[in-house]
Amino acid sequence: MSQDAFASLYAAHEKIYPREIHGRFQSLRTAAVYLLLGLYYALPWLQWGDRQAVLFDLPARRFYVFGLIFWPEDFFYLAWLLVLAALTLFLSTALAGRLWCGYACPQTVWTEVYLWMERWVEGDRNARIKLDRAPRTWRKILRKGLKQALWIGFALWTGFTFVGYFTPIRDIGAHLLAGELGPWAVFWWLFYALATYGNAGYLREQVCKYMCPYARFQSAMFDEDTLIIAYDTRRGEPRGKRKKGVDPRAAGLGDCVDCSRCVQVCPTGIDIRDGLQYECIACGACIDACNDVMDKIGYPRGLIRYTTERRDREGRLRILRPRIAIYALLWAALAGGLLAALWGRPDLAAALIHDRNTLYRMVGADRIENGYRLDLLNKTDAPRRLTLRLEGGPPGLALDGPRSFLLGPAERVSVALRLVAPRDAVRAPSSTVVFSFEEDGREVARREVRFLGPVSSGR
């Protein structure tokens, strides 16, 4: 890459100073911040019995989610969940545009909090612009230093919480104080803290504009019935300043007073009056700002508002359409299927594999032996006792190995088993043996395996 390319890219970016606003959509956004970040920071501290309620224990290779325990074998559920999440995004985008971007995306949510901290320390938009342009004084250094301290502190807390999803968070606290936190935990803590600090403090809207793939392909889910935020050109133009009390129509003006509030509040620094742009994250800040101005000068609200292309053209909303129906049906099928699959999830995993190296072995002159590996996994939080019963196979078949298994909570047991049969009883090169696992006299798992013998045994 050439130096020039970088230089020009740097020059193209101008720092955006979003102005503070109040209004319906800002309140929604604030509520979303509290809800989502509240969940993020509180969840690892919740206990379930005597363990952390939500813990992705990677070193032990198991995930705890409240009453459920997931194993690498359950990867399927995770994949299913991700497909469901993607479909949720498609459905919500087709219906209401970039709801995700405006209210729920971690990038938006953390940026919002970083802006709050910036505002507390450096003041409102004008004060921030002035401070940045001011010469370096002690006051400026103090302000900037305080902001950095808040930002870094918040980033460290965020990183700490992130690691708390993978290592018991109550232990990390103690380990941290004792200075014996594992190196990879420290690494991820600082890595996540740095990512938060950089993304929410500095990159901000650039992440949405230049890095986010969803921002680029979300338009594929749009149609002319999707909710978008738009400026009412017919009503607003021609825009212009005016004296108080002047009838805009008589002066040949539209309703837009060209106060540029909608531009000042925009977190991505665009002018919504230029039409729908891919930079727009649909946060609704410009709606709040414009409504506020309209109220003040006594014009009706809604010069900038949520609308659809069709509503602007034909004056009607069309919510139910084939695209929505298909997304909704798929979504319901997947969500229902996932719930059903989780509901009926076996709480015992039993894998029985025939010895891969040897088909069968002769023991002495008159007996044939087959080897197996049995893997049992107790997926519950309670201890369980299983007994093994055999069905089928050659007459006189005997098990060499344990018949009874005590599995501790969430314990995995792996044992080698051998089946032995008299040589004369083995009449076929291959026969089926059923392993039936019983708990309290009830069959809880059933596995079929092959019992192999010499090919010549088919006499």
Partner 1 sequence: MHAAGAVLWPAFLAAAGASVPFFAAFDPAELLAHATWPVVLTRGWAYTVFFFFFWLLAGTASALTWLLAGRNDG
Shortest distance, position 57 Cβ to partner 1, whole Å: 10
Q: Which is nearer to partner 1, 204 or 239 (CB)?
A: 204
Q: Which two tokens stand for residue 252?
A: 């040949």
Q: Which is nearer to partner 1, 87 or 185 (CB)?
A: 185
Q: Which two tokens stand for residue 103?
A: 């209210």
Q: Which is nearer to partner 1, 212 or 259 (CB)?
A: 212
Give me the residues that bind partner 1 (CB under 8 A), please.
1, 5-6, 9-10, 13, 58-59, 61, 72, 75, 78-79, 182-185, 187-188, 203, 206-207, 209-213
Cα 389 versus chain centre, distance: 44
Q: At what angle do helices 138-164 and 125-133 cross, to 10 degrees?
A: 120
Whether the Cβ atoms of residue 29 and residue 265 lie closer than 8 Å to each other: no
Shortest distance, position 376 Cβ to partner 1, whole Å: 17
Shortest distance, position 233 Cβ to partner 1, whole Å: 27
Whether the Cβ atoms of residue 261 and residue 290 lie closer than 8 Å to each other: yes
Q: Which is nearer to partner 1, 290 or 377 (CB)?
A: 377
Shortest distance, position 223 Cβ to partner 1, whole Å: 25
Whether the Cβ atoms of residue 101 and residue 208 lie closer than 8 Å to each other: yes
Whether the Cβ atoms of residue 285 and residue 263 lie closer than 8 Å to each other: no
Shortest distance, position 424 Cβ to partner 1, whole Å: 41
Q: Which is nearer to partner 1, 12 or 177 (CB)?
A: 12
Shortest distance, position 113 Cβ to partner 1, whole Å: 21
Provide the b/e sequence for 299-317 (b: ≥16 CB within 10 Å): beeebbbbbbebbeeeeee
Dist CA 431 CA 257 (whole Å): 87
Q: Which is nearer to partner 1, 123 or 168 (CB)?
A: 168
Query: Which of 101, 146, 139, 138 minimizes the C-alpha distance to 119?
Result: 146
DSSP 368: E
